[in-house]
Every structure is written in structure tokens, then in C-alpha cells.
Structure 1
Amino acid sequence: MLTNYVKIAWRNLVRYRTYSLLNILGLSIGLTCGILIYLTTQFHLSFDTYHAKADRIYRVVTQIKHDDVRFSRGTPKPLGEVLRRDYPFLEQVARLERLHGRIVSVPNAKGGFLKKFDETRTFCFAEPQLFSVFDYEWLIGDPQSTLSAPNSVVLTEKYAHKYFGTANPIGKTLRFDNQVNLTVTGVLKDHPANTNLTYEAYISYSTIASLPNAKESLQAWTDVNSEAMCYVVLPPDMTSDRLASAFPTIRKKYYQADDQSVYNFTLQPLSDVHFNTQYGGRMNKTILFAMTLVGLFLVISACINFINMATAHALKRSKEVGVRKVMGSSRWQLFSQFMTETAIITLVAVVAALILANLGLPGMNKAMSVFNATMSLSDLLDPTPLAIMILLVVFVILLAGFYPALMMAGFNPITALRGRLTTQAVGGFSVRRSLVVVQFFMTQLFTIGVVVVMTQLRYVRQADLGFTKDGIMLLDLPNSASTGNDPLKQETLRQRLLQVSGVQEVALGNQPPASGNINQFPFSYDTQTKPEGFDVQSKIGDHNYLPLFGMRLVAGRNFRATDSTSQEVIVNETVVKRLGKLSPADVLGKRFRIWDTDKTIVGVVNDFYTNSLKTSVKPVVIVNDLAQSHMMAVKVGATDLPKLVKTVEATYNDFFPEQVFTYKFVDELLDEFYRGDRIMLALTQVFSLIAILIGCLGMYGLVSFMVETKSKEIGVRKVLGASAFQVLGLFGREFGRLVLLGFLLAAPLGWWLMNAWLQDYVYRIQLQGWMFLVTVTLAALITLITVSFQSVKAALMNPVKSLRSE
């Protein structure tokens, strides 16, 4: 019987090719989205789970409390040594510090270099214990000894090949930041993509002590660098509470009384590192949950299409059912026959979905490139994903096929053979309407999301940031005093660049007004000896900094070009407000003590954003300290940009031949703040289009059903004088009500969801009526286009054909 079911099912699918293709198309699209979303979710949930001690690894993080709370994934550098020495019950303690913007060169035999590279976020200082905390695969070297000596470095296989080609890297030398030579002592296998430990080179932690101005930080308890992290491994039988209870004792022992309430340490499980955005996590679990719901909705929507198409198609097969019942088929046999057809369609759709998913994976990996995603269909072959995939297929077969099969198996044979099945016998409009309303609801919910996200991102791009961002190129300058922080050398380079055609202004500083680097420091004001109740963000800038970035003074003056004392500062309006002053002029000439040095406030600048619009304007101080300048801002006009960049590069290389010339424009830097939101927008747009496509197939199924069941009614209306336009009104009213009902369900939920998303932005748009009007108008237009073909065909049909049998 099973062979017979399959044979007949296949014949029916071939006979009704259009019906079969539409069902396969709808199911395959829904399943494709489900597969892609599942792979993405599984990829993020697998981060760092492959480490043997993953459930016992914790990162110590810091909460810094002033008038607000700042969360840092870093800790004071001495904390790790204290934990290792004073708390021997800990299985392992390991410190590491990620490095930014360092120059690495491969020396030659003549004292020069063969290659030089600008390395950002790929190098770190690490203790040898790190290799006992996490599971690394070693190609060459001993985990216990490779980082035991100063000036040693362990490379990944990729970076060993990058620096030394196919030669054996062990014992080779790298010049780090033009300051120290590092000896390669080990090579690691390249990391998997699903890890937050994305470092390509590990320098021995003991090397820090040999670097200029770095030794002091090893003993500084109030210096919390977000890149200086500490990991611990607890014994198998210990809870995290035991170690957490030791932190108050550490604060009391190593902090002064005023600071004990400021710095608080807590433990973060390794499983939370990837998802906790407060401590630098890169993926919000709420987004993963939302994506999972989206995937489930799209699969259910595809199943709804199948149900609508199958029940609409049932009228054409009513006589077949009647004959089968008269010939002795039981209800169970008919049910099995139709479920077999559903299973065949679903399996074909699964094959098509796997092909489509494989074609879509490069795009999904590109969208997740910030995570170095390398997802592939082979990930589905693991036991857990394979079991989930099988369950998904069974779920789709049951959800899509159960109701139509049960309904058709229950046909009355006499009524079916006479061709007088009622609307209720094939499911009626009520079930079909409900299913299509669900599709309209999901489609319009996605559309609301697209409109709101696009509007917010456009607002972000057009917002007044308090400074100019267009046409400003940022150049990195060396950090060391011997090569870069020479005021005379900086001024000479500035004058040379001003002679380049297209260069309008040049300024020195340490970062643009808005950047991802947030440095906050305590300070004291005027005659106060204790720090104020809030910290300030610091910016370094010379007398050209404010004019180049178009920042406006509201009181006082700019820095003097001739000032070389570094004793002058400019604060923003928020500092004035937080100090409780009524006028910006009230702070001019007052003492401002920061970095253990007394300085004088000479000006007040307008408020400006120091980060994305997701954060409020912060108190900022701009210090005229050329010794700390390691950035040059170059404002360019409308000119041949590639030619200008080459000229600037040549000029830069004349001054710093040992450096790597790198540049970035300010507007590109600011765009990185919203990369996650742009990914969200792109995915929402894609899912919206898919939801619309699946919804169109559902509407096609419903309008086909209406044409079948209302053919005689349409014929009678036309005989009685109804025009084609009036006949079209039947379909318009029906679908208009469904669109409106779907909108009434989607609008409040869409408002709530998007209002919650907008809360991430301190400066945001307000939800307005036109956004929802656009949504319902677009849904109505898409509906009109979808149903017009079948409805126009029905309106123009000769009434004689439909009334012939009466």
C-alpha cells in the first residue's frame, strides 16, 4: 500500500504541476530561512563551549561607581597576581591584555626590516597560565614554557606564515612597536571561528615591565583598562560565591577608604562573555531569540500557505475521493494517501531548501563577518543539529498536511460524486481567513520594523553631532617619544601636509571628538582637594583641533599656538552643568586638576557626542598636551582623493619610514557604531521580503479558493447585470478586511517592539502615524497586485461556463 500511495501521490503532483510547484516554493523558502537562522543561532550559542573547563571558567570584571556605574571587562593588573598568591584554592589564574595599533616588523640582517605591519586587536600580552585555562591546539612548542621568559611570542599558524612564509618560525625575531625584539617560541593552530579569543600573537606578560612607562601600571589599582583582563578557573566542587566573597577583603586591603566603594569586582561566566554587551559582548541574546521567532514564524507561514493551497485544491479532487470511498477505501487510508503527498512535497522542499540555504550561506557569513563566521551545511551533520532538522521536517509535514488530509478524508462520497460539496466541507472561509490574517499580521509586523529602523538610521546619519565629520582623514602617529611625540617633528609634518594640494587644515590630537575609545578620569575643580562626583572623558588636541572639527566656543578662548606648557584645558558645556554653574563664563580661569597635575580652564566648547547616539553627551575635557598626541587629523576638500592619499602617504613615510601608513575617515569610523543595527536592518529587509513572498502565495491560494467556490455566484451576478468592476469589488472587500485585521493585530505589537528597540538610543526618533500608514498602504498594494490576476480572470469569465450545469 505504501508503494501505491507514493506512486499515486507522485502522479497527482505531476498532474497538478502549478499547485505542486507553488507549494514546494512556499515550503522551501520558509525552510531555507529556518535553516539559515538555526545555523546562525547555533553558531553564536557555541562560542567558547569547546573548552574542556568552560563551565568552570570565569572572567573577573569591574564596576566603577561614581554618580553612575561604568562596567568594564578589565581589572587592575595587580589583581591577578593577588588572586594567584593569596587564594591557592583557585585552579588557575591567567592575565592577558589586548593591544591596539602596534607596529610589528620583520628585521633583516642589515638592521632594517623586510616587512612591516600595523596590527590592531590581534596582539596581546598573556601569561603562560592562559594555555592551561583554555584549550589551544599546539603545532610547535610547550604550553608551560613558551611564554615563561620576557620578549617571547607565540604565533598562530596564519600569522607565522604571514611573517615568515613557509620557513620554520621558531627562534625567529619580530620587532615590536620599534621598541623591543620578540623571539618566536611556539606556533598554535588557527583558532575556530566560534571564539572570543581572537588573538593571533601572544607576547609574554613579563615583557610589559621592559616597556617605557608601562611598569608602573603593573602596580596601579585605580587603573582599570578594559583590555587588561583576568580569567580564573574554579575547582569542580566550588561555586563562584566563594571567590566573590573574597573581593570585599581585597578592596579593603589594597584601596584607600574613598576608593573602596568605587571599585567593585564580580565574576562573569565564560558562557556570558559573548552575549553581555555591558562588558563588551558582541551579540545580544535578545536578537538571537527574536531571530529564532522570525524563523519559526516564516516556517509556520509557509505551512499556512500549504494548508490554504491544499484546501482550495480539494474541490478539484472531490470526485477522486468519492470514487475511492465507494470502492472501499477507509478514512485512514485516504488520510495516509494525502499525508504521503504532503511528505513527498515536504521532502522535495527540504532538498530545495538545502540548495537555497547553501546559496545563501555566503551572504549570511558576510553579514556575520565581524564574527569571522564560517557557517556551512556540514554543521547540520552533527548529532544535535541533525536531530533538530529531522524534527523540523516531521513538524512541517504534520502542521501542513494534517488538517487538509483530515478534511479531504472526511468528504461525504455521495455529495463529492455529485460535485455539490459545500464551502464548509472544504474548510470554509473562516479557517482560511484566519490563516491569511496571520500572514498579513507577520508581513506588516516586519514592514513596521523596516520602516522604523530605516528612519532611525537616517536620523543618526543626519543628526547634528556637535562637530564636523565629513572630509576628515585620520593618520596614526607613533606613540614613542623617539619617533613620534616630538613637537618639532609634528609641526614640520603639519606644515608639509598643508602644502599638499587639497589639504585645508591639519590638527594634532589623540582621537576625534567621537570614537570607540572612552577614557574617563577623576578630577578636582577649583579649590577642592577631593575628586568631583563624576569623571570626565579626556581628549588631546592642539590649537587647530577645534577649528578643524568645526567645534564652537561658547565662552573663553582657544588654545594659543605658542603655548608649550600643556597647562591649559577646554571643557564642554556638560562639565559646567554638572559642576552646578549657571554660566560657562563662571569656570574660566579656574583650577582643573587631572592626572595629578594642576591645569587652568581657558575655554568652554559646545556639547558634542563622544560616542554613538545610544549614549548621552558626556563631560569632556580637551587638553593641549602635544606629548600625548598620536593622531593627525587632515581636512581635505573636493579633489582627486586617491592622488591626495598617495601624496600624503609619501610625505608621511618621509618622516616615519619605520611606521606603517594607515588612515581612516571620521565618517567611516562613526559608521562602525551602527554596524550591528545595519546588519539588523539588512536581515529585517530580507525577512520582510520573504514574508511578503510567502504571504503572496497564501493570498493566491485563498483567491483561487474564492474563484472556485464563488464561480456560480459571479455568473448569476453578471447575468443580472453586474459589471466587471462590481465583481472585482467582491474580492476587494474580502481582502481589504483581512489586510485591515492583520494591521490591527500588527500595529500595537509593532509599536511596542520598536519602541523597546529605540530605547537603546538616548537620542531617537518618535514613532509616528505615517510609519504605520505606509505599512498598511504597502500591504494593500501588494495584496491588490497579488489577487488581481485571478480576480480579473473571474470577473471577465463567461457566465455560461459557470451556470451550464444548473
Structure 2
Amino acid sequence: MLRNYCRISLRRLWNSRRSTVINVIGLTVGLSCGILIFLLVGYLFSFDRYHHKADRTFWIVTDIRRENTLHADATPRPLGRILREEFTAVETAVRLETLFGQIISLPGSTRKFEESRNICFTESQFFQVFDVDWKTGDKNKALDAADGVVLSERYALKYFGTTDVIGRSLRINNQHDLTVKGLIGDPPSNTRLGYDIMVSYNLVPQLQGTLDEKPDWNNTPSLCFVTMKTAQSIGHLQQALQTTSRKYLSAEQADLLHFQALPLQELSHNTQYGGTVPRPLLYVLTVIGILLVAAACMNFINMATAQSIRRSKETGIRKAIGSTRLQLIIEFLTETAMVTLAAVIISVIIVQLCLPWLNNALSVLHADMSVLWLFRPRFLSWFLALIAGVILLSGLYPALVLSRFTPIAVLQGRANGIRTRGVSLRKVLVITQFFITQFFLIAVIVMSAQVRYIRQTNLGFNKAAILTVPLAGSSSKQETLRQLLEKTPGVEQVSLAAEIPSSFRNDPVSFSYENRKAGFPVNVKIADTAYAGLFGLQLLAGTNFHNNDTLNDEAMLSLMAIKQLGLVSPQEAIGKKINIWGRDKRIVGVVADFHSQDLHHAMRPVILLNLPSEYSIAAIKTGTAATIPGIEKTWSTIYPDQVFRMNFVDDMLARFYLTENILLGLIQVFAVVAILLGCLGLYGLTLFISAARNKEISIRKVFGASVTGMVTMLTKDFISLVVIGLLIATPLAYMAMNKWLEGFAYRVNIQWWMLGLSAMIVLLISLLTVGWESIRAARKNPVKVLKAE
């Protein structure tokens, strides 16, 4: 029987090739987007959930309570050791510190490697808390000695060309020799803790120049993770943190530092503490995926019921010769299943072709998504549920409609009245589709305007043709580099500083003004005498720094800082005293306000200090990119043991908005898909209505109606559905995009033309879609139609 259903379905699909192709295209487009979104959401939700102790492992964070609370994702160094050693409710705890700009070299070799983010200091307890594919070595003791280091397989191959590396030597920063004590498999991409080089935490005291770890509670450099015993709860851990604070912190420190425990899964999702993938964004993406798949199913329903008139006699005859309604439903569902499976196969191919682009867009996460993930147990269940849901959602209603026809009514030509009762549902489907289309179009227009605004906003400083290179060594060596760079052909200006004007490092700092505490924190920028000129900071009063001497006692303030101090004019501040970081400084200049962080945050007051001991970059203004080889050659003469790396300021600022750019790209694709699905749905309903009204159209033409009149009659009903969809979507999209824009301190306002433009685009596309089929229906020969009737 099933084989017979399949043969009949194939014959029917072949005979209705046009509608079959439309159905397959619609389902393919919707399923492709749905699968792509579900893979992405599944991947982003999987971060650090695979560890078998994840449900009882917690991440300790610190709230630093000053004028404004600073949320730190790390803790003081002693905390992890104390939790591990003094509380029986704690199974184990591990500390780690991610490292940046480390130079790894091989003794006896000239090869050097610059490593950042994938190298850390940690303890052997790391391998008790987190699941690691351990290959060789003793994982319980590999990092006990201060010279111990553990490598991943890919880094063992990178450094030594082999995985037989136990006992081999490395050197970090040309200072400390390390011995490879362990080898692990390459860390997966779905972890925030995917380190390829793990150096013993016991090396930290040596780097600090002390034999023992200092009980320093004033700094928070160490990430801390705690695994509780099976029967213990997060409440016991929170109590342990409070006990530790009372025992080891002074009253002043206890008021300043507040520790709290978060589930390990929050490591990627809690944006307050550095998470990059907020849960609300993933929920929104999930809803979008469901809507796109549902829109594709609506198209199928519209197209299938549009064919009901042509299939009514077939259904009536089948029922007259003994077919039951259940048999007909099974046959129609079989037909739907065949279309769906064809769409699934094509969708899987399309998804695999699109994944390299998505993985590249998420390169910062080292994403390695593959369509083969669909066949993993965790993904397979929802993938099969998705296919079954599409078959039932797309096929069940049309099957019920087609199978309910009574043979007598059909064979007497009275089926039309029965079938048109489903028109109201199909109208609702079309309204829903164009609601989705309008929503996406408004999102695209508003997000594009905001991204364009971000790119064009004057940040208060110059950023074009400026690059940065790292600094190291003594102040005299850095000054030598400056002098050589200034002589390099093509270099226009050079400035030594700690960071560019707008950066991620923006911890608020308290200070005193004229021996009284200022009532607001500031951002501090470490800069030399050339900084203001190179970045084009406008001097409003006073002078620039006079020299780059290490005893320099000068400071420059931004105009906002002057206003918040209650001064009427910038000139009043010149010569006044401030104390910051325990240093007495004299205000010598006032500069115009500039953005010291991204546009998500409101502009803050800034203090510029000249502290040569804190310089970490050289900012270089160049006339052409051809200057870079000369800059690299000059830099390498000063730092022959280091690895040259450079960043353009434009690129550094663009990283602030990586999430927004990726989201905009996805929304643009979804908008195109929504338009295509909306047009297919409208086309399906046009087919249905024109087929149902064939006799009416022909009679009107016999009595003198024109083609234009018939097209207008057919079109106005469809356009009214589109307009209803627009009226529902516009206020909801307006509210949703206003909510998204609230995440930016500096943003565009949603203008009427944005809403009007999206409505015009949707109406124009709808007119073209409906008009084509309406003209075909209106131009039919009435003689042939009435003769057939």
C-alpha cells in the first residue's frame, strides 16, 4: 500500500511540476535558514556544557564597589587556594590567568612565536574540574613544578613537528625555561577555556620577583572555578565566600570587594562579566528560525489548497470507489513527506555551503560548525522533530481539506462552495507572512542606519592611517625606537602610550581635586607629548605636556571633567592640583571631549597622564601602507627577540561592534528570505482565488468587463491583506528596534521614512507578485472557461 502511495504521489508531483517546484523552493529556503539558525543557537548554547561536572561547577566573580560598581570576571589570587584548602563542601578549585603578548621560543633555535589568549597560567586541578582529552604525562602533577607546561597536540606539532614532546623545552619571554610535562588533545571550539599552552601557576611568584605568593587582595587577576561536592549547593559556596571575606579581608577591603558564584554555563552568556553571547539574543534567533520555518509551511498550505479545485474530482472519484478519508489523508501526507524530504536534502547541502561563511564571521570564537552535527545525538532529536513537524504542519491541513469533499457534491460541480470556506485561514497565513516580512525589513533599515551612524560618528579624535605596534623593555629603549621610527620614510608622527583614545580597558578611577575627593570617576589615558597631536585631540586651554620625563607631574583633563568639577571655564582649571593613583599632578591643559570607549556607553570624563613606565604601544601615523615594511624592520632592530605585530586603529575600533555587524548580516539574509516566502505565499493564494473565481471572471468579461478592471478586482483583496500585515508589524517592529537601540548611548532615532520605506518595498513586491497571476487569470478566454464549467 505504501509503495502505491509513493507511486501515485510521484505521478501527481510530476504532473503539477510548477507547484511542486514552488513548494520545494519555499520549504528549502525556510528549512535552510531554520537549520542554520538552530545549528548556530545550539552551538552557542553548548559552550562549556559538555564537562561532566558542569552542573556543580561555579565561576567566581567580583563586584568592586566604588562610586560605580565595576563587575570583574576574576578574583584575587589567594581566593581559589583558600576555598580549595579550607572548606569541606568544596571538592576542588582551580585558578587560571589568561596571558597576552607572550613570546614563546625554542632553546637553540631562532624561531619565535607570539601567543595571546590561548596561553594561561593554571594549576593541575584544571584537569579535575574540566574535561580534557589527556594524551600523555601525569595530569595530577604536570603543573606542580614551576617549570611545568602542558601543550595541545596542534601546538606540539607547531613547535616541534611531532607529538612526542614530553621532556622537551620551551622558553617564555626569553626569560624562563619550561619543560613539557603533558600533552592534551586539541580543545573544542565550544569552550571559553580552550587553551593550547598551560603554564604552571607556580611560576607566577617568580615572575613577580618573590619566592612565595603574596596574599594580595587588592587586585583581581585570577579566574576562579569551584567544583562542589555532589550533595552541596551554591548556597554553601556563597556562604564560604562570605566567610573568606570576613576572615582575610580588612573592613575597607570587605566593603570594596563582593564575591559571588555563578553557574559555569554563564561564562559565555553573562555580558555583565564579559560574556559575549547574551541569552536574549539566542532566544530571539530561535524565534526567528521558528518563524521562517513556519512561513515556509504556510506557503505549502496555500499552494496545496490552491490546487484543491483541480484535485476535487480525483478525490470524489476515489471516495466513490471505496477510498476512506484516512487513506486519502495518508496519501496526501505521503506526498507532503516526499516534497519535504527533497527540500531537506537540498537544505542540508545549502547549509553546508553557507557554514564556511558563518564560521568565518565567528572566527573570534574559532567556530567550526558542520552540517554533520545534525547527526549527533544532541542535534538529531530536534532535527528529526523539525522534519516531522514540517510534514505535519504543511500536510495535515491540506490533507484534511482535500479528503473531506463528498463525492456527490464534487461530481455535481458543487465543490467550490465547500472549498472556499478555507479562504479565511489562508488569508490569515498571508497576513502572518507579511507581518514577518515587514518586521525584518524595518529591522534591516534601522540596524543599517545605526551601524552607518557608528561608522560615521566623530569620536573626537583622528583614527585614519594610524597603526600601533607593541613596546617592551626600558624607557630608554622605547625612546630609541621612537627616534628611529620618526626617521623611517613615510612615518609622519610617532606617539608612545598605553592605549589608543577609545579602548576596551576603561576601568573607572577615583581621584581628588584640590585636596577634596571628586564626586565622579574618570577614565585614565597614559600618553606622551605627541599623543594629542597625533590623534588630533583639540586643546581648549593651557598647554600640552612639556616633556616625557619619568618625574613628569603634569595632567590634562577633558572638558567634561572640568564641567563636573563645577568650573565655569577650562582656563580656571590650569595650575590646579589633583591626586590620582596616589600621585600628585598639576593640570596643565584641557582638551575637548572624546569617546574613551565604544558608543554603547555614554561619554566619560578623561584624565591624560604622562607616565613613561606605563607605555605599552607606539602609535604611528603613516602616509601609505608601503611604510609598514620599513616600520617592521626598524622595530625588529630594537626588539630582535620579539615577534612584530601591528594593528590599524580603524580595525581595533571595528571590533567594538563585531556582534552588531554579524547580527546585521544575518537579519539582511533573513529579510530577503522573508520577502521570498511572503511572495510565494501570496502567489499561492492568488492561484487559489483566481481558480475559484474563474466562472465569475469569465461572465464579467462576457458582459464587457476589461482586463484592467478584472486585475484591479483581484489585486485589491490581496493588497488589503498585505496592508493589514504591515499595520500589525509596524508598531511591534518599532518597539522592538527601540529596545535594541537602548543598548547604545549614542544612537539614531527611528524616523517615519524608515517605516514608510519598508512598507513601500513590501507593497511594490506584492503588486508585482499578485499582478502577474491576476493578468494571466483575467486574460483567459471566457468561452473555454464556461465551456469547461
TM-score by length of 1: 0.94
Query: For residue 629 of structure 1, what is the aligned residue in structure 2?
Result: 615
Alpha-carbon contact 1:485-1:630 (below 8 Å) kept? no
Query: For residue 747 of structure 1, what is the aligned residue in structure 2?
Result: 730
Distance verdict in 2 for CA 1:259–1:582, change over 3 Å: farther
Query: For residue 366 of structure 1, what is the aligned residue in structure 2?
Result: 360
| Partner deviation per Cα, 1:672-694 (whole Å, 9 max, x = no partner) | 01001111011111111111112
Distance verdict in 2 for CA 1:677–1:37, change over 3 Å: same
> Is 1:306 equivalent to 2:295 in the alignment?
no
Cα offset, 1:774, TM superposition: 1.0
Query: For residue 649 of structure 1, what is the aligned residue in structure 2?
Result: 632
The aligned runs of 1:742-781 (5 Å cut-off) are 742-781=725-764
| Partner deviation per Cα, 1:387-408 (whole Å, 9 max, x = no partner) | 2222222221221112111111
> Is 1:715 equivalent to 2:698 in the alignment?
yes
Cα offset, 1:697, TM superposition: 1.3
Query: For residue 9 of structure 1, what is the aligned residue in structure 2?
Result: 9
Query: For residue 673 of structure 1, what is the aligned residue in structure 2?
Result: 656
> Is 1:797 equivalent to 2:780 in the alignment?
yes
Query: For residue 393 of structure 1, what is the aligned residue in structure 2?
Result: 387
2:530 alignment partner, one of 533, 544, 547: 544
Amino acid at match of 1:180: H
Distance verdict in 2 for CA 1:250–1:582, change over 3 Å: farther
How far apart, in 1, do the equivalents of 2:209 and 2:69 lie?
29
| SS of corresponding position for 2:657 | helix
Query: For residue 207 of structure 1, what is the aligned residue in structure 2?
Result: 203
Cα offset, 1:423, TM superposition: 4.7
2:373 alignment partner, one of 369, 373, 379: 379
How far apart, in 2, do the equivalents of 1:499 and 1:382 lie?
59
Distance verdict in 2 for CA 1:75–1:167, change over 3 Å: closer
Cα offset, 1:652, TM superposition: 1.2
> Is 1:512 equivalent to 2:496 in the alignment?
no
How far apart, in 1, do the equivalents of 2:474 and 2:734 lie?
53
| SS of corresponding position for 1:33 | helix
Distance verdict in 2 for CA 1:619–1:77, change over 3 Å: farther
Alpha-carbon contact 1:217-1:223 (below 8 Å) kept? no
Alpha-carbon contact 1:747-1:772 (below 8 Å) kept? yes
| Partner deviation per Cα, 1:530-575 (whole Å, 9 max, x = no partner) | x655443222110100111011122322101364423212122333
Which is worse superposed, 179-188 or 437-446?
A: 179-188
The aligned runs of 1:530-569 (5 Å cut-off) are 532-561=518-547, 563-569=549-555
Query: For residue 66 of structure 2, what is the aligned residue in structure 1?
Result: 66
The aligned runs of 1:250-329 (5 Å cut-off) are 250-329=244-323
How far apart, in 2, do the equivalents of 1:755 and 1:43 lie?
28
How far apart, in 2, do the equivalents of 1:172 and 1:538 lie?
43
Alpha-carbon contact 2:78-2:215 (below 8 Å) kept? yes
Distance verdict in 2 for CA 1:118–1:548, change over 3 Å: same
Amino acid at match of 1:371: L
| Partner deviation per Cα, 1:404-444 (whole Å, 9 max, x = no partner) | 11111111323322434325424443222111111000111
Cα offset, 1:92, TM superposition: 0.8
Query: For residue 24 of structure 2, what is the aligned residue in structure 1?
Result: 24
Query: For residue 132 of structure 1, what is the aligned residue in structure 2?
Result: 128
| SS of corresponding position for 1:611 | coil
| Partner deviation per Cα, 1:603-652 (whole Å, 9 max, x = no partner) | 22222212210011223221111122120011122x3x1x2111111111
Which is worse superposed, 119-128 or 791-800?
A: 791-800
| SS of corresponding position for 2:105 | strand
Amino acid at match of 1:635: K
How far apart, in 2, do the equivalents of 1:565 and 1:289 lie?
54
| Partner deviation per Cα, 1:178-233 (whole Å, 9 max, x = no partner) | 332222222111111111102211111111111256889843212123xx211111
> Is 1:171 equivalent to 2:157 in the alignment?
no
| SS of corresponding position for 1:185 | strand
2:474 alignment partner, one of 469, 485, 491: 485
How far apart, in 1, do the equivalents of 2:377 and 2:163 lie?
40
How far apart, in 2, do the equivalents of 1:216 and 1:518 lie?
31
How far apart, in 2, do the equivalents of 1:157 and 1:776 lie?
55
| Partner deviation per Cα, 1:764-783 (whole Å, 9 max, x = no partner) | 11111111111111111211
| Partner deviation per Cα, 1:249-282 (whole Å, 9 max, x = no partner) | 4334444433432211100110111111111112
| Partner deviation per Cα, 1:480-499 (whole Å, 9 max, x = no partner) | xxxx3323x33332233223
> Is 1:524 equivalent to 2:507 in the alignment?
no
Identical-residue share of aligned pairs (%): 42
| Partner deviation per Cα, 1:339-371 (whole Å, 9 max, x = no partner) | 222222222222222222222222232233222
Amino acid at match of 2:474: N
Distance verdict in 2 for CA 1:304–1:274, change over 3 Å: same
TM-score by length of 2: 0.96
Amino acid at match of 1:663: M
Amino acid at match of 2:135: L
| Partner deviation per Cα, 1:641-670 (whole Å, 9 max, x = no partner) | 1x2111111111122111111111111001
Query: For residue 197 of structure 1, what is the aligned residue in structure 2?
Result: 193
Query: For residue 721 of structure 2, what is the aligned residue in structure 1?
Result: 738
| SS of corresponding position for 1:192 | coil
Alpha-carbon contact 2:471-2:478 (below 8 Å) kept? no
1:141 alignment partner, one of 119, 137, 153: 137
Query: For residue 610 of structure 1, what is the aligned residue in structure 2?
Result: 596
How far apart, in 2, do the equivalents of 1:216 and 1:685 lie?
56
Amino acid at match of 1:97: E
Distance verdict in 2 for CA 1:665–1:330, change over 3 Å: same
How far apart, in 2, do the equivalents of 1:59 and 1:240 lie?
11
> Is 1:100 equivalent to 2:100 in the alignment?
yes
Alpha-carbon contact 1:442-1:691 (below 8 Å) kept? yes
Cα offset, 1:148, TM superposition: 0.9
Amino acid at match of 1:67: E
Cα offset, 1:55, TM superposition: 0.9
> Is 1:619 equivalent to 2:605 in the alignment?
yes
Distance verdict in 2 for CA 1:586–1:296, change over 3 Å: same
Query: For residue 46 of structure 1, what is the aligned residue in structure 2?
Result: 46
In structure 2, runs of 5+ residues without a counterpart are none
Cα offset, 1:167, TM superposition: 6.4
How far apart, in 1, do the equivalents of 2:223 and 2:788 lie?
83
Amino acid at match of 2:102: R
Alpha-carbon contact 2:557-2:606 (below 8 Å) kept? yes
Amino acid at match of 2:153: E
Amino acid at match of 1:405: A
Amino acid at match of 2:152: T
How far apart, in 2, do the equivalents of 1:247 and 1:387 lie?
41
| Partner deviation per Cα, 1:311-347 (whole Å, 9 max, x = no partner) | 1111111111121122222222222222222222222
In structure 1, runs of 5+ residues without a counterpart are 479-483
Distance verdict in 2 for CA 1:100–1:423, change over 3 Å: farther
Cα offset, 1:759, TM superposition: 1.1
Alpha-carbon contact 1:311-1:427 (below 8 Å) kept? no
Distance verdict in 2 for CA 1:140–1:284, change over 3 Å: same
How far apart, in 1, do the equivalents of 2:213 and 2:622 lie?
39
2:183 alignment partner, one of 160, 182, 187: 187
How far apart, in 2, do the equivalents of 1:632 and 1:97 lie?
26
The aligned runs of 1:427-466 (5 Å cut-off) are 427-466=421-460
How far apart, in 2, do the equivalents of 1:156 and 1:27 lie?
43
Alpha-carbon contact 1:107-1:115 (below 8 Å) kept? no
Q: RMSD between aligned alpha carbons?
A: 2.1
Cα offset, 1:594, TM superposition: 2.6
How far apart, in 1, do the equivalents of 2:231 and 2:98 lie?
31
Amino acid at match of 2:339: I
Amino acid at match of 2:361: A
Which is worse superposed, 731-740 or 52-61?
A: 731-740
Which is worse superposed, 69-78 or 351-360?
A: 351-360
> Is 1:724 equivalent to 2:724 in the alignment?
no
